[in-house]
Amino acid sequence: DSEQTEPQDELQVELQNERQQPLAQSLRPGSVATPAKITAKKPPSKPVKIARQASGAAIGPSGMTEALARQIGPSPITVRKIPKAQAMQNFERGMEFFSANKDLLRARELLNSAYVSGTLADTQAGRARKALENIADRTVLAADPYVNPKDPYMMSYTFAPGDMLNSRWRSGKLLRLGVIAKCDLNVPADILLRVNGLASARAFRAGRSYKLLKGPFHLMVYKDKFVADIYLQDLFVRRIPIGIGAPETPTPVGYFRLASGGKTINSPYNAPAEAGGTSRTLLPGQEGYPLDRQGHNMKIEGIAQLGTNILVSQSYAIHGTNEPDSIGTAASRGCLRAGDQDIRLLFGILQTYANPNNPRVTWKRWSTVTVE
């Protein structure tokens, strides 16, 4: 796919320019140890742990199999949910750790297990959510290459000469495996720039260590609240406001994935034909173009195995909007809308479906979009 085949001059690590182009944001003092050896070998990958029901079946919606659960990985729809009494206890203990600013990873673990249980009262869920967002902004989403070695959602990686984020192809042949595939990250390159405080992939330097996130990210959409929760694997990290379909053109509920090759910018929009007229194609900047200025668009399709039989040809998508006031309302033709900053974030974190028929797919797991 296009997002996996960026040109070499964008992503090649350039040793000779290290002094001329320093990092956009300096490392924390003492945060990164001098590497004993620079290596481009693939780190050992651990098998995905599958949460199971008492019967032994994979946890998840009806139709979830062990094979599908492995493709999705830990996520809000495959995580084991704790009972209400345990959730309350974890919430209280987690808030104690968070309020004392003590052991944030432990606070995050406790609060996240309580939040994803779905048993907290609205007030408690709101407090847990704000605490988890605060911790995420200071850890996994912080624009800082520092990595806590105890954090299971990220890793430190020392770039070797010639390393690139995305894999490089030529004439259909793989020339070099990218860092994203090599480390089994299952995230787009954009989020790795963001969390390292870098404006361009050219700023990565051989011999330096950077923060890599272990994805994929997932999205939980709550139509009745006009919000979407963002997860890194099974970890809640942020809530954003959204717009949904109008009553006459509702957004369908179910389990979705981003269609292979379905992420585009400067996306053309096929305006429906008016009475007695013909349809027309609009481009960014043209009058009546309904997406954001950059034309962010992500086509989604149903996961048929989980009972959602929505085809990509039915044209449902997640996209930006030229009507910011429509966020928080039901006004679209069925698509999910996000504001300018939020659509850029979603575009940079959500991973398209790993189509087994596409030889250029170098990732194993992919993002899910659940609409309730």
Taken in order of first residue, the domains within the chain and their CATH numbers are 1-25+143-214 (no CATH), 66-138 (no CATH), 218-371 (2.40.440.10)
Q: How many residues does the chain have?
A: 372
Per-residue pLDDT at 214: 98
26, pLDDT greater than 80: no
Tally Cβ neighbours within 10 Å of residue 147: 21
Per-residue pLDDT at 76: 97
| pLDDT tens digits along 305-328 | 999 999 999 999 999 999 999 999
28, pLDDT greater than 50: no
Of 170 and 140, the one with more pLDDT: 140
CB of 159 closer than 8 Å to CB of 210: yes
- What are 176's two structure tokens? 């070099």
pLDDT band at 15 (very low <50, low <70, confident <90, very high): very low
| pLDDT tens digits along 270-292 | 887 775 667 789 999 999 999 99
Q: Which of 272, 273, 274, 297 is nearest to 284 (CA)?
A: 297
Tally Cβ neighbours within 10 Å of residue 185: 25
Tally Cβ neighbours within 10 Å of residue 357: 6
pLDDT band at 54 (very low <50, low <70, confident <90, very high): low
Mean pLDDT over each residue of the chain, to the nearest integer: 87
189, pLDDT greater than 90: yes
**Mean pLDDT on 142-168:** 96
- What are 228's two structure tokens? 């979407």
